[in-house]
Amino acid sequence: MGESKRGNLLRQEDWLAVWIGFIVIAVGCVAVLTGWFDFSAMKFSTWSWGEEEAVKAVALGTQLGQWAFWRKLIVTVLVLGTLFTVGIKLQGEKVSRYIPAFLVLFIIAIVVRLVSAEFTLNRYLEWAFWALLIGLLISNTVGTPEWLKPAIRTEYYIKTGLVIMGFSVLFSNIAKFGLYGLGIAWIVTPIVIIFMWWLGTKVLKIDNKPLVITMASATSVCGTSAAIATGAAARAKKEDLSLAISISIIFTILMMVFEPMIIRACGMNELMGGALIGGTVDSTGAVVLAGNALGAEAEQAAVLVKSIQNILIGFIAFFVAIFFATRVDRTAGKSVGAGEIWNRFPKFIIGFFVASLVASFIIQPLAGGAQVKAINGVLDQYKNWAFVLAFTSIGLDTNFKQLAKQMQGGKVLWLYLIGQLFNIALTLLAVWLLLSGVLFNVPVLETFK
């Protein structure tokens, strides 16, 4: 291996995100499988200012008074702070500027997690919304100070979080729901992406093609995670990513609240309603809440459809990278070779796939599903912290005036609205064909367990 290739593996942000993600995954696996030490990251339990018995939440003072809470907080900041700082050093940047900025960013992230864990707020809005909102409030009022900017590295944190997330994407989910889930999640999704690409570029004539494909992926797959992966593959600007995520989060909240109401009003059964939610509501957390609003069977169906859909993230990013390299960004009269495609391909997607394969075909067969679930319980919080840092960074780096300019006279909003309506209609058709009992036998609840 040449010196330049070794340098890329140790100095390129994409590869550093892979190594950081793998280190967290490896340590998490060792901690859970051996039981030698506790690697759990800090998480605020749902809390309230009122009585614990009245709202089924832990009083905030009770949490803050526990040594375990502070120990996990110290572990979290040390692990992530050390790994991200080493990555910054390897990229040739000043550690002395990054460390104090990172600590302040992490404090803001703690505030985000604290606010989002409050009992009432936690029921309706996920931490991603609060991370974006708090970041936006700071950047659009007092402004983001220059000394904090060395730590505002949206893609660095996002890529690491996605690699860690890969461990939770199990291919065994396909077997649990079989052809039903594949039909709903894997056939509808590519059609919606193609439709929105045509709508955005040909009908609405939006010039910003990376924004169009990022919005299409966010709408059809799983919101923010898909937008992040696809945006990287299409080389979307940070402003494009911010706009796509902002629109996705706003409408995810609306759909999470109103879609279960509409499904119930239409008299749809739990199985079909849950599958529809899983295929159309963007965020996995929102899918759980919306499915639960319909019932236990709906929740299981919703989560399985969304889990199967999440597997597509890496594949879609892969094909988008090839499509943009060979078609969209291709210079007239110039052919695009494998080297250019590899150069453009987001390397952290490789980490995502490897993590998924290790969990699906090594850890799960050897240790069992219960152990994989336990490992994911640990890794999930590290992924969430990486995402909180990323979403807060997006907010701190975004100005409302810039977002208004990107709307292109409302075209981007129309792209989302029409695309989402098409997504809902097509998913509803797939759900009816597969789960109504007209053409196929209806699976029973036991097949989901």
Model pLDDT, residue 127: 76
Which residues, 6+ apart, have CB-to-CB distance to 220 below 8 Å?
Answer: 188, 189, 190, 192, 193, 196, 226, 419, 423
The number of C-alpha atoms within 13 Å of 380 and in the hemisphere containing its C-beta is: 11
Helix orientation angle between 270-280 and 238-265, rounded to the nearest 10 degrees = 170
Model pLDDT, residue 448: 37
Question: What's the CA gap between 406 and 212, in Å, rounded?
Answer: 11
Average pLDDT value over all residues in the chain: 83
Per-residue b or e along 319-351, where b marks 16 or more CB atoms closer than 10 Å to that residue's CB:
ebbbbbbeeeeeeeeeebeeeebeebbbbbbbb
Question: What's the CA gap between 256 and 249, in Å, rounded?
Answer: 10
Our CA dihedral for 174, 180, 181, 184, rounded to 10 degrees, sits at 150
Q: Is residue 6's pLDDT more than 80?
A: no
Question: What's the CA gap between 170 and 27, in Å, rounded?
Answer: 19
Highest mean pLDDT among 78-87, 119-128, 348-357: 78-87
Of 200-214, 356-370, 391-405, 411-425, minimum mean pLDDT range: 391-405
Model pLDDT, residue 14: 83
Q: Is residue 327's pLDDT more than 90?
A: no
> Would you place residue 1 in the very low, low, confident or very high pLDDT band (cuts 50, 70, 90)?
very low
User: For 76-101, what is each residue's pLDDT tens digit?
Assistant: 999 999 999 999 999 989 999 999 99
> Would you place residue 340 in the very low, low, confident or very high pLDDT band (cuts 50, 70, 90)?
low
Query: Residue 228 has which token pair?
Result: 């992040």
Model pLDDT, residue 337: 57
> Would you place residue 341 in the very low, low, confident or very high pLDDT band (cuts 50, 70, 90)?
low
Of 127-131, 264-268, 369-373, 436-440, minimum mean pLDDT range: 436-440
Query: Residue 27 has which token pair?
Result: 């340590």
Model pLDDT, residue 9: 74
What average pLDDT does this structure show over 62-80?
88
Question: What's the CA gap between 171 and 319, in Å, rounded?
Answer: 19
Model pLDDT, residue 176: 64
Q: Is residue 446's pLDDT more than 90?
A: no
What average pLDDT does this structure show over 327-343?
62
Give percent above pLDDT 90 in the chain: 35
What average pLDDT does this structure show over 245-271?
85
> Would you place residue 11 in the very low, low, confident or very high pLDDT band (cuts 50, 70, 90)?
confident
Model pLDDT, residue 53: 45
User: For 294-319, what is each residue's pLDDT tens digit?
Assistant: 887 787 788 778 877 877 888 888 88
Model pLDDT, residue 40: 92
Highest mean pLDDT among 40-44, 162-166, 196-200: 196-200
For residue 81, the one-letter residue type is G
> Would you place residue 291 in the very low, low, confident or very high pLDDT band (cuts 50, 70, 90)?
confident
Model pLDDT, residue 41: 92
> Would you place residue 336 in the very low, low, confident or very high pLDDT band (cuts 50, 70, 90)?
low
Model pLDDT, residue 5: 52
User: For 26-35, what is each residue's pLDDT tens digit?
Assistant: 999 999 999 9
Model pLDDT, residue 447: 34
Model pLDDT, residue 196: 96
Q: Is residue 261's pLDDT more than 80?
A: yes
Model pLDDT, residue 238: 79
Q: Is residue 406's pLDDT more than 90?
A: no
> Would you place residue 3 in the very low, low, confident or very high pLDDT band (cuts 50, 70, 90)?
very low
Question: What's the CA gap between 438 and 449, in Å, rounded?
Answer: 24
Which residues, 6+ apart, have CB-to-CB distance to 59 below 8 Å?
Answer: 47, 48, 49, 51, 52
Q: Give the chain as a 3 state SS string.
A: CCHHHHHHHHHCHHHHHHHHHHHHHHHHHHHHHHCCCCCCCCCCCCEECCCHHHHCCEEHHHHHCCHHHHHHHHHHHHHHHHHHHHHHHHCCCCHHHHHHHHHHHHHHHHHHHHHHCEHHHHHHCCHHHHHHHHHHHHHCCCCCCHHHHHHCCHHHHHHHHHHHHHCCCCCHHHHHHHHHHHHHHHHHHHHHHHHHHHHHHHHCCCCCHHHHHHHHHHHHCCCHHHHHHHHHHCCCCHHHHHHHHHHHHHHHHHHHHHHHHHHHHCCCCHHHHHHHHHHHCCCHHHHHHHHHHHCHHHHHHHHHHHHHHHCHHHHHHHHHHHHHHHHHCCCCCCCCCHHHHHHHCCCHHHHHHHHHHHHHHHHHHHHCHHHHHHHHHHHHHHHHHHHHHHHHHHHHCCCHHHHHHHCCCCHHHHHHHHHHHHHHHHHHHHHHHHHCCCCCCCCCHHHHC
Cα–Cα separations (whole angstroms), residue 422 to 220, 261, 425: 10, 20, 5
Highest mean pLDDT among 327-341, 396-410, 428-442: 428-442
